[in-house]
Amino acid sequence: MTQEPGAVGAEYGAAVGATGRTVVHENAVAKVAAAAARSVPGIHSLGSSPSRALGAIREAVGPALSDHAAGVRAEVGQAQAAVDVTLVAEYGVPLQQLADQVRAAVYRAVEGLTGLQVIEVNVEIADVFIGEPRQGAKPGIEVQ
């Protein structure tokens, strides 16, 4: 296979004839994927309940400690990436459609911004956010 000088190499995403290589770390891919997932309407938050609680503690200690990739895990090879997204959906949003929209957004963002081929995006809907409890409401069922 011959390529034009300066053409992009298909295998590693590196320019032919360029000096050096580019490595995109898993954390960078995870942050790109998290930003893409958060942009989808119907997402309340990323991560499971325990990870969100830990994130809230981290942010209370200092906003600089905020984890922008919370709820997202990426595995990165030389030219490909796989992404797992765990999220909490807003109540009333069709969950299968939400998962499809998140998957599409992550594919577009990761491939477009990193140059890696995304081989899969797994979406886990860990919870549904119904709303904050009303002030003064008693937990449980009220019988009248």
Q: What are the pLDDT digits (tens) for 25-71? A: 999 999 999 999 999 999 999 998 554 454 555 555 555 445 688 99
Mean pLDDT of all residues in 19-25: 90
Domain 26-129 has CATH 3.30.70.1350: yes
- Secondary structure of residue 120 in the 3-state scheme: strand
Share of the chain above pLDDT 70, in %: 67
72: number of CA atoms within 13 Å, CB side?
28
- Secondary structure of residue 14 in the 3-state scheme: coil
Mean pLDDT of all residues in 89-100: 97
- Using CA of residue 84, residue 113, residue 76, residue 68, what is the dihedral sign? negative
Mean pLDDT of the chain: 80
* pTM of the predicted structure, to 2 decimals: 0.71
Distance in angstroms (rounded) separating the CA atoms of residues 85 and 34: 8
